[in-house]
Structure 1
């Protein structure tokens, strides 16, 4: 039984490979296979029975079998050639079987002398029930019932054929009943299993479609929230400060309004395409300068990304029919995607040429040196609502329906698109459009819309913290939307020194190098997202103490939980209120100031004592280990005159800036002050618990000049070493 099941699976797979076409749905492919496999099975069995009737000299049954075999040969050959109209072929076959069987039964002398041919007609009815077309099932059932009634009425008028003796009649009755019953069961099993499979695939498809639609709504919400944040923020600033940078702030509002409009237009276009109501408005003109104009309009985006953009036409003139609006949308989507997913220093090349075989068509290729696409993702990138998980580390803004529109537009224009890609090397998207010349000629066609492109921010957003007021906290903003960075700088620039980064990887490097007081990050960003940035910073002893605020368009509960699980200290959703943001940052800095005070209080003796664990923050363990390592190194080297900040940094394997910022955050003291304070604590201990002279204590704590040691001690404790020793000795 297991062998038969595997054989049926193999036969089903081979039939699928033989009959499947690109236009097949699950139901149409099922009908094809059902028709082909049932016909092939009937052909094999009828061949054997026809051979037996020929050997037994049964002319009526032999001619009946031969007629069925010839009909099946012709119908199967025709079906394999066209691979379409399966339901028509199926219905005609069943109709032929019933009528031919009816005639054969009449020739043999009626139902009682037919050798079980009655079951053949029943088989046709059962086969009809296995189809998904209820009309065919009803028609075949009615026809079978009519033939049965007709044979019943005609039975008294018929004379049995002399070739069928009672024994032969009984033998063929049993044989036909046996093989037809088995064949019916087999077909029913196949039909039900295939239908169950199709229903499961449909359910899975709808579930996936539902998931992808939900993902689309999440992506669109994200894309809407970011520009709305910029619009609301700039509008609020314009209202509060109408005379400060009105033109720049207005341009930010207009740019982000156009971004929202572009997203809405994409969604509406997809809806019209799915409903089949998208009109085609073709003109006849030279398409080469039109393509050059569309490609050239993305030059500013390419320059901002540091990507080289070229258009190389093979010939200067290709006059053909094309829809300017849809052609611009197709090419614009491909060019903007190529630029977005190509790293700085890469290049994007657009070519145009004619292909003359088998019919003349225009080939437009967009080639980039970007991140590439995984082989298993190439087919899926054109699916509605789909966004490749492989681009998680290279996130770029977009709803994820651009390529769906591209393929739908090309289908509408009788065009095609192919993709060749190597991960890490780049991709080539090639579109093919038929060259026809039927539309009205226009001398020059201009693009209908300026394509959406990221523009440079209206304000400078990246500052060198060393050039700003050193008494203000240092804030690192990690955000891939330049308008949001510009707005945040306007809101926070008078209270914080601001650094900026446009992706998670750059944000991590900036945080490690500058060790800011606070990090504010988006979640969905290129290279590394906000979750990865937060996790990395919280697991690095150089940066684990830094508060991280996630300022993002992801407003769902799971995203918030994920953010906190990765170590985020606060989670704000766009669009946000300016007062809420300021209060959040102020609260985090106050919290860190309290932690700093606890560390400072704990630095009253050697060896180092940890702050109260009950009051420590979740990331305090790394900070405790860092401080223990610092104090251990100082304890081992404080007596050496040559031991200073550079030597301490070398042993900790961090830079002077990182050490300074870390100690300032944890203790409120610079590295030099902290080292000096530790030496003073050691000197105080020697003064009170040994009989060493002041000079000896100075040398033992790393000072080469006793007079300089006395000045430092007096500044630190408010008394000279000798007075300090005398007062504490008398007190004891």
Structure 2
């Protein structure tokens, strides 16, 4: 082990020894600095005592040894009681001033004590690195008072004979060097701390700015989503009759309530932080009230295929509670749990009564101090989910303003970021406590404890709440409507917000056959299976986000041709650029005009129709290099042409055989070719055979029957009918007319 390694090992041991539970980095740094300050000075002072002893200066040596022993004693006590660093700093610096005063008086005053007065100044200066301004002020006041007293006592003091003028000068220079060194150390420490503080402040401001930007982006998304539904359903261009409008009143009202809830959350938080929020207790049975609060969330959980379990041992519990505060606490905690719990997961919600004697440190981390409850019973509300969990280092931060956990599911879990902060402040206002324990990959448990009392006026609580679940009109709109009267373009809607999905379905219902998915993973599966004509996808969704959906479908030859419209509340250019980089064909921001959405969809389908002629004629042009082509549609058609080129002469080669060669289902092949060329798979195979036959009619001397057999038709008459339909004349006349035209040209 080399020298630097040993030094590093010693440094780690010192860090471990001085690190205490719950320490901040600043506390550890202060503790270590004071330790090194004492350790550096003690050997030097002890050595000087020995030197002066051998020089016969017994009084001087004794003074140095008294100072050494006193410093050693302070150091040893500090090592044992290292938590109270500032107290030991104060004791040490006051000792410097006291020792300086006694030594000056003993050795004959300021002029004859060899600059011992500087020891007190050194103590006062060193305090600048450790103490608060108020503590430093009193230190300097006492030091200055000691100098004034020494000056008044100077005529009465007698110099010690062993302190000769030469030794007095030497000690003066020595003490001046000590004070200079102390001043240097103090200034260096101050500058280092100042630079470090500025750097930390800059980093903090940068991080705060980043978090604020994310917060405002997320809160904008939270506002834009309900606004999309409200503004959309009240848009005059929809021309809804009174019956249809009446059916959608509950949809508009629910999204209006969501906006109101967001605004109230922000106002409540402002009131809490300004200490302006009042508690309005009522005394009633809290059990039916909690039942009414969780009812909407059971519907929401079922809708997400989450197993929601509620348990309580209390059939009746009369206590004081504030209905608004309790609703805010329970609603935010349950919303959080449902938001982060994946489909197929579980949430356990339980209510019980417990005594305050149970040690709270077994519940997990709490952002609030330990409570001394004035109640013999506590209401315990426990919510446990099977979500992704939270890293231990992030748990203390989730109750901070603007902070949101970074995770694989972050894209779908972006919200206002106020919920847990609001819960913490509400619980604190109610003199309770909140705890969280979490294991990454296993889930999170939140526990709220509130004191039970019966002091408020008794009130009969009326159970009155609005269902937050999905209305019947939304459920009905979720059903895919299959039309048999005429063929409509197939539109796939990938949107996790049921109200927004319902609104899009209402806007597009008459013009498209609708498919829907509430998450990206299922949306990709539906797209690959059904090959829709166009897709609308939200960006922030469960599982994978809209960008990933877009990239996945655009890189799959089965779905690469499908136009994709990304729908989001994000209006910044960076988000739009990211969408286009992933292959999006259009970008629509919430809230949107229904006419704009319909026009975008219509124009994208028109563009796809215009490309059909190009893709259809690929079978007639010379075959380009597939590796040079970057268009996935061209690559697909050229690959199809390559297969047809090998098998077109076999009369048994059909659409089923082609789909097997391409590795996709027959229905997928049908939808893909229909979207690209306007032809079914069977018609596309025949078109290719006829295109080859056309070349043989023009450039070979084979008779028409021979050409028909060569291109895979075992019925020459059927071949002639198809040829005539495709090219406008029978094969024989086509050859004759072409030959005549060539001759006339010559």
- Mapped to 1, the partners of 2:727 and 2:481 lie a distance apart of 34
The answer for the alignment partner of 1:219 in structure 2 is 218
Mapped pair 1:343 → 2:353: no
Q: Measure how far apart 1:415 and its partner are.
A: 1.2
The answer for the alignment partner of 1:540 in structure 2 is 556
The answer for the alignment partner of 1:271 in structure 2 is 270
Mapped pair 1:579 → 2:595: yes
The answer for the alignment partner of 1:383 in structure 2 is 400
Superimposed CA distance per residue, residues 103-144 of structure 1 (whole angstroms, 9 cap, x where no aligned partner): 331122112333442221111221233246333333333433
- Go from structure 1 to structure 2 and tell me whether the alpha carbon gap of 1:313 and 1:70 turns closer, same or farther (over 3 Å shift): farther
Q: Measure how far apart 1:225 and its partner are.
A: 1.0
The answer for the alignment partner of 1:245 in structure 2 is 244
- Go from structure 1 to structure 2 and tell me whether the alpha carbon gap of 1:10 and 1:722 turns closer, same or farther (over 3 Å shift): closer
The answer for the alignment partner of 2:413 in structure 1 is 396
The answer for the alignment partner of 2:423 in structure 1 is 406
Find the partner of 2:519 among 500, 503, 507. 503
- Mapped to 1, the partners of 2:678 and 2:413 lie a distance apart of 40
Q: Measure how far apart 1:36 and its partner are.
A: 6.1
The answer for the alignment partner of 2:510 in structure 1 is 494
**TM-score, normalized by length of structure 1?**
0.86
> Which piece of structure 1 moves more, 583-592 or 61-70?
61-70
The answer for the alignment partner of 2:666 in structure 1 is 656
Mapped pair 1:644 → 2:670: no
Mapped pair 1:421 → 2:458: no
- Go from structure 1 to structure 2 and tell me whether the alpha carbon gap of 1:297 and 1:159 turns closer, same or farther (over 3 Å shift): same
> Which piece of structure 1 moves more, 327-336 or 278-287?
278-287
Mapped pair 1:518 → 2:517: no
* Number of aligned residues: 717
Judge conservation of contact 2:99–2:120 (CA < 8 Å) in 1.
no
- Go from structure 1 to structure 2 and tell me whether the alpha carbon gap of 1:314 and 1:496 turns closer, same or farther (over 3 Å shift): same
- Mapped to 2, the partners of 1:75 and 1:444 lie a distance apart of 62
**Secondary structure, in 3 states, of the residue corresponding to 1:104?**
helix
**Secondary structure, in 3 states, of the residue corresponding to 2:97?**
helix
- Mapped to 1, the partners of 2:17 and 2:166 lie a distance apart of 40
Q: Measure how far apart 1:383 and its partner are.
A: 2.9
1:70-469 matches, cutoff 5 A: 72=74, 76=78, 80=82, 83=84, 86=86, 90-91=89-90, 93-131=92-130, 133-161=132-160, 164=163, 176=175, 181-182=180-181, 185-236=184-235, 240-280=239-279, 291-313=290-312, 324-353=323-352, 354=354, 356-358=357-359, 363-392=380-409, 395-396=412-413, 398-412=415-429, 413-423=431-441, 426-433=442-449, 435=451, 437=453, 439-440=455-456, 442=458, 458=474, 460-462=476-478, 464=480, 467-468=483-484
Superimposed CA distance per residue, residues 574-617 of structure 1 (whole angstroms, 9 cap, x where no aligned partner): 112222222222222222222222223454x3655799x9xxxx
- Go from structure 1 to structure 2 and tell me whether the alpha carbon gap of 1:154 and 1:447 turns closer, same or farther (over 3 Å shift): farther
Q: Measure how far apart 1:221 and its partner are.
A: 0.7
Judge conservation of contact 2:697–2:707 (CA < 8 Å) in 1.
yes
- Mapped to 2, the partners of 1:345 and 1:181 lie a distance apart of 71
Judge conservation of contact 2:215–2:417 (CA < 8 Å) in 1.
yes
**Secondary structure, in 3 states, of the residue corresponding to 2:476?**
coil
- Mapped to 2, the partners of 1:126 and 1:321 lie a distance apart of 57
> Which piece of structure 1 moves more, 300-309 or 311-320?
311-320
Q: Measure how far apart 1:369 and its partner are.
A: 2.2
Superimposed CA distance per residue, residues 359-411 of structure 1 (whole angstroms, 9 cap, x where no aligned partner): 87555432222333345443433332122231446613521222222334344
The answer for the alignment partner of 1:616 in structure 2 is none
1:631-710 matches, cutoff 5 A: 631-710=641-720
> Which piece of structure 1 moves more, 61-70 or 139-148?
61-70
- Mapped to 2, the partners of 1:275 and 1:312 lie a distance apart of 37
- Go from structure 1 to structure 2 and tell me whether the alpha carbon gap of 1:442 and 1:229 turns closer, same or farther (over 3 Å shift): same
The answer for the alignment partner of 2:373 in structure 1 is none
Judge conservation of contact 1:311–1:351 (CA < 8 Å) in 2.
yes
- Mapped to 2, the partners of 1:78 and 1:277 lie a distance apart of 45
- Go from structure 1 to structure 2 and tell me whether the alpha carbon gap of 1:54 and 1:242 turns closer, same or farther (over 3 Å shift): farther
For the aligned residues, what is the CA RMSD?
Answer: 3.9
- Mapped to 1, the partners of 2:337 and 2:522 lie a distance apart of 21
Judge conservation of contact 1:64–1:104 (CA < 8 Å) in 2.
no
- Mapped to 2, the partners of 1:363 and 1:46 lie a distance apart of 61
- Mapped to 2, the partners of 1:32 and 1:293 lie a distance apart of 54
- Mapped to 1, the partners of 2:212 and 2:658 lie a distance apart of 56
- Go from structure 1 to structure 2 and tell me whether the alpha carbon gap of 1:333 and 1:192 turns closer, same or farther (over 3 Å shift): same
**Secondary structure, in 3 states, of the residue corresponding to 1:476?**
strand
Judge conservation of contact 2:126–2:182 (CA < 8 Å) in 1.
no
Give 5+ residue unaligned stretches, structure 1: 614-618
Q: Measure how far apart 1:53 and its partner are.
A: 8.3
Q: Measure how far apart 1:226 and its partner are.
A: 1.3
Q: Measure how far apart 1:92 and its partner are.
A: 5.6
- Go from structure 1 to structure 2 and tell me whether the alpha carbon gap of 1:521 and 1:98 turns closer, same or farther (over 3 Å shift): same
Judge conservation of contact 1:54–1:62 (CA < 8 Å) in 2.
no
**TM-score, normalized by length of structure 2?**
0.84
- Go from structure 1 to structure 2 and tell me whether the alpha carbon gap of 1:122 and 1:9 turns closer, same or farther (over 3 Å shift): farther
Judge conservation of contact 1:27–1:132 (CA < 8 Å) in 2.
no
> Which piece of structure 1 moves more, 652-661 or 234-243?
234-243
- Mapped to 1, the partners of 2:463 and 2:449 lie a distance apart of 18
- Mapped to 1, the partners of 2:484 and 2:420 lie a distance apart of 45
**Secondary structure, in 3 states, of the residue corresponding to 2:234?**
helix
Superimposed CA distance per residue, residues 688-710 of structure 1 (whole angstroms, 9 cap, x where no aligned partner): 44444443333322223333333
